[in-house]
């Protein structure tokens, strides 16, 4: 299935989920979830860095997506809209995790170990390693634009930032990635 065919099919599923009756809408939503769940988990993983946290965020996001899909005015906007919901759910999960860690640290009698610097991989994993070193905003912009093939305007909607901010994040991320991959300090 080509990229444009896949997008058209997703638009059809969104429209069917919005308009469908009890069985048709539900079937379309289930198929949409099967198609999009891995993409949304991947996005959440890039934002949170933790599988369990990413899964929790995506689960919460699907609840919002199911409740709000009828209000989505343009089925073509589904990708950016869904990524935005996941991004917000990730921010909430990260906030909760920080609070839990701070609370645990405050009541801990023993000092916490500090995380060591990640070991740089070799071979084909270098790009993934380099992307993980980016600040979260730049990492999300790069992932949505280059891996999910969203246009800059769609990335802006997904991240809830102006188009200019997305362009800056992409440019900064490319500069940092180049420095990391060439062995310099970003």
Contact between residue 78 and residue 15 where contact means Cβ atoms under 8 Å apart = no
Indicate the fold that domain 121-186 takes in CATH.
Answer: Arc Repressor Mutant, subunit A (1.10.10)
What CATH code would you report for 1-107? Answer: 1.10.1740.10
The pLDDT assigned to 102 comes to 66
- CATH 1.10.1740.10 domain range(s) in the chain: 1-107
- Please tell me the predicted confidence (pLDDT) of residue 103: 63
Instruction: Give the per-residue pLDDT at 111.
Output: 46
- Cα separation, 103 vs 15, in Å, equals 45
Residues of the chain with pLDDT under 70: 1-3, 21-23, 101-124, 184-186
pLDDT score, position 21: 61
CA distances from 60 to 6, 163, 180 (A): 25, 27, 34
Residue of 48, 127, 123 whose CA lies nearest to 88:
48
**pLDDT value, residue 167:** 96
pLDDT at res. 149? 84
């Amino acid at each position: 299935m080509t990229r444009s065919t896949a997008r058209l099919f997703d638009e059809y599923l969104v429209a069917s989920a919005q308009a469908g009756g009890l069985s048709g809408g539900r079937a379309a939503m289930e198929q949409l979830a099967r198609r999009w769940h891995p993409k949304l988990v991947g996005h959440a993983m890039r934002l949170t860095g933790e599988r369990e946290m990413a899964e929790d965020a995506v689960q919460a996001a699907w609840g919002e997506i199911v409740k709000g899909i009828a209000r989505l005015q343009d089925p073509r906007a589904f990708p950016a809209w869904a990524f935005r919901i996941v991004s917000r759910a990730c921010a909430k999960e990260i906030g909760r995790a920080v609070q839990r860690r701070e609370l645990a640290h405050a009541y801990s009698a023993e000092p916490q170990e500090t995380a060591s610097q990640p070991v740089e991989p070799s071979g084909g994993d270098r790009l993934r390693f380099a992307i993980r070193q980016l600040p979260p905003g730049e990492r999300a912009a790069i992932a949505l634009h280059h891996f999910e093939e969203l246009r800059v305007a769609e990335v802006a909607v997904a991240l809830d930032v102006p188009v200019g901010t997305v362009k800056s994040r992409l440019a900064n991320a490319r500069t940092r990635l180049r420095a990391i991959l060439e062995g310099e300090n970003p």
